[in-house]
Amino acid sequence: MNRLQKVSQEMRLSALFAFTLIVSLLTACGGPASRPVAFGRTITQPLPVSEKGNEVALYAMGLIDTGYRFGGRNPEAGLDCSGMVSFIYGQAAGLKVQGSAADIARSSRPIEPELLRPGDLVFFNTRNQPFSHVGIYLGDSRFVHAPATSGRVRIDRLSDRYYAQRFEAARTFFE
């Protein structure tokens, strides 16, 4: 990596950190916390801001522009969507998350989409298959994911037509 690339990467990480900090501070002012409903059922009441969730979101933003590789499980080799989630959750939250996007969906708790917090997961039907794609929610309707189409980890909006039409579920691993 040459000096210009290194400086560019450092600037990008600084900007991502600032964005995450702002989102975290705004989310922290979201109102009183309440307890979720029983495990396995859809959470329908607001949850407290999750420190681990914020760490997951911050770590995810640090992987922007990482190359895509089907079946990829680490940034050096490339990441696919489920590999990205598994890697980030392991590194940032110390949680062992494994399997395909559908496996990850089955092992996490459903939440109402309007209750998404940074670090929660968003699932899409992108291949005429339920839960065929997963991303990490950042806040402000944005999520990080590893789509095969661009060949790079990137940020998109849930409101973008393509993702809005294919959105399936919001889920979480956090209290």
* 48 has a pLDDT exceeding 90: no
Catalytic one of 142, 145, 154, 171? 145
> For this structure, is 81 an active site residue?
yes
* 59 has a pLDDT exceeding 50: yes
Both tokens assigned to 65: 């522009």
pLDDT of 16-37, one tens digit each? 454 544 444 444 433 333 333 3
Cβ density class 112-140: b for 16+ within 10 Å, e for less? eeebbbbbbbbbbbbeeeebbbbbbbbbe
* 3 has a pLDDT exceeding 80: no
List, as one string, the DSSP characters of 152-175.
B-EEEETTSHHHHHHEEEEEES--
**pTM, rounded to two decimals:** 0.77
With CA atoms as reference, report the closest residue to 23 among 140, 115, 114.
140
> For this structure, is 145 an active site residue?
yes
How high is the pLDDT of residue 1? Answer: 54
Catalytic one of 23, 61, 81, 85? 81
Section 95-116 average pLDDT: 97
Catalytic one of 109, 133, 142, 154? 133
Domain ranges, residue 102? 3-172
How high is the pLDDT of residue 175? Answer: 84
Q: Report the CATH number at residue 69.
A: 3.90.1720.10
Percentage of the chain surpassing pLDDT 70?
76
Give how many domains the chain has, as a whole number.
1
